[in-house]
Structure 1
Amino acid sequence: MAVIHNTELKPSKLELLAVWLPSRAWYRGTDEPELAKAGGFRLDDPEGEVGMEFMVVTDSSGDEPVTYLVPLTYRGAPLDGAEDALVGTMEHGVLGRRWAYDGYQDPVLVAQLLALIEGRAEAQHQNQSDTPDREVTRAYSGAGFDPAVLTAIDDEDGTELRGPQGTAVRLNRVLRSTSDLPEGATGHLSGAWTAPDGTATHGLFAVTR
């Protein structure tokens, strides 16, 4: 169970993301993002070591607001071989220094994301300890994925975790309010967030094939 600490982070998560986001292929704003938290959820690490959060943030720096899905992992020590995935470091008021990583390149998050899609894990509330997030829904009808053989590849719309023989988990970094599945989809992960106008909206976070 992930324990939510009400404490200060220096720098904040949004401050870290404001520096990191412009380096991503799928980012569509300016070099100076104007970010606001719009939603998200958490996953539990079975070993209780790695924090995992799927953050939804809206950037208002461009011609029109764009909402992004940004999964992050929080670790108490650097992850070996993952220098390219490092988003930044923070000082946590309770846990001390934390290393924040792009979650799609962290094997712990990838394994738990697959478990969530396949129905073997449960999404947790972003801001409350020991509270499931019922707004996160999933469905899956394919064979089980092996997280050890998936490779994360960024493009202009998101990140794809590619496996052998054409299997993949397509992660929508740029979120849209639609539940329409592409042809050939074997499963999906959906969730809710707050739109720039303040209304509640819902859409696809990930699709499998």
Structure 2
Amino acid sequence: MAVIHRTTMKPGKLELIAAWLPARPWYTGTSGAPELTRAGGFRLDDPEGEVGIEFVVVTDVSGTGPVAYLVPLTYRGAPLEGAEQGLVGTSEHGVLGTRWIYDGAHDPVLTERLLALLRGDAEPQHQSLTGVPDPAVVPEAAEGALPAGAAVVAVEDGPQGTRLVVEAGGRRLGLELVRVPEDGLTGPGALGRVTAEWELPDGTRARGAVAVLREG
């Protein structure tokens, strides 16, 4: 079970994300620095208890209208070998010391847990409370779509988002991370999906897909 520490991080998550976000191919901003606010998210537990896993939704209000972004993050006590391209930055945690923070699409612990969530073998956790499940996060997948040996074998990042290439029982699937989630977007016709909620700037709640599983 991940323990949520009430402490400081320097620099903070929003600072790190704001510096990292403009270089992403799926970032829709055009000029200036992002102005980010927290909008929602959830956590997954690492069974080994070594890696923090958090799916963060932030809202950028720097443009003509607010835009939500999904940023899956992992928090590690040491660098992840071979994942340099996924490094968001480092931060000093008030309890745990230096943390290496990665875009979770490039971290095998997060991708394995996301597949487990879709299979029903992992339970989404509240973003800021220890040991509290988050019933607002709803995973669903077609029966047999993700056998136990399914694994992510490649990451494809492009203007439409991030696609995780999954090998599953001799088949290839695509697990799309919906980097710009939209209210009501749930991925019709998919083999599976994870839907979640986030807060809009006016205080109302939105719900849509944050991950969608498809053939091919």
Question: TM-score, normalised on structure 1?
Answer: 0.95
Name the structure 2 match of 1:159.
162
Name the structure 2 match of 1:47.
48
Name the structure 1 match of 2:19.
19
Distance 2:62 2:137 in 1: 28
2:178 is aligned, of 172, 176, 188, to 172
1:204 is aligned, of 204, 209, 216, to 209
Q: Is the 8 A contact 1:161 1:170 kept in 2?
A: yes
Question: TM-score, normalised on structure 2?
Answer: 0.92
Cα RMSD (Å): 1.4
Deviates most, 187-196 or 160-169: 160-169
Name the structure 1 match of 2:110.
109
Q: Is the 8 A contact 1:22 1:31 kept in 2?
A: no
> Structure 1 stretches (4+) deviating beyond 6 angstroms?
none
Distance 1:23 1:71 in 2: 16
Give 1:157 shift. 2.4
Give 1:147 shift. 5.3
The 5-angstrom pairing of residues 33-44 of structure 1 reads 33-44=34-45
Give 1:65 shift. 0.9
- Structure 2: which 5+ runs fail to align? none
The 5-angstrom pairing of residues 17-166 of structure 1 reads 17-29=17-29, 30-141=31-142, 142-144=145-147, 146=149, 148-164=151-167, 165-166=171-172
Distance 2:80 2:202 in 1: 38
What SS class does the counterpart of residue 100 from structure 2 fall into? Answer: strand
- Structure 1: which 5+ runs fail to align? none
Give 1:149 shift. 4.4
The one-letter amino acid paired with 1:25 is P
Q: Is the 8 A contact 2:181 2:210 kept in 1?
A: yes
Q: 1:61 to 1:186 in 2, by over 3 A?
A: same
What SS class does the counterpart of residue 100 from structure 1 fall into? Answer: strand
Name the structure 2 match of 1:5.
5
Q: Is the 8 A contact 1:117 1:140 kept in 2?
A: yes
Q: 1:36 to 1:49 in 2, by over 3 A?
A: same
Corresponding residue pairs, total: 208
